[in-house]
Amino acid sequence: MWDFENFQNPLTDKDCQLVSVRIRTILNGIEKGKSKIRRVLPLRKAMLEA
């Protein structure tokens, strides 16, 4: 299946897929965290002012 003589990259396709999936989930988590912070900050400000 693979031509190992010409295959320079030590990572397999599966490794690359796993890494990209992990990066994507981390980035999604960061985005969710940001939106959660955006929602919470106005509430905190309102509570402090009240």
pLDDT digits (tens, 9 = 90+) for 12-40: 778 878 888 999 999 999 999 999 888 88
Total tally of structural domains belonging to the chain: 1
Rounded to whole angstroms, how far apart are CA atoms 46 and 50? 6
Residue 1 inside a domain? The answer is no
Tell me if 42 is assigned to some domain. yes
In a domain? residue 23: yes
The answer as to whether 44 is a domain residue is yes
Q: Which residue has the tokens 């900050």?
A: 41
Query: 32: helix, coil or strand?
Result: helix
- Distance, in Å, from the CA atom of 4 to the CA atom of 1, rounded to the nearest integer, reads 9
CA atoms within 13 A on the CB side of 34: 6
The pTM of the full predicted model, rounded to 2 decimals, is: 0.49
Q: Which domain holds residue 48?
A: 12-50
- Residue 6 included in any domain: no
Model confidence at 1: pLDDT above 60 = no
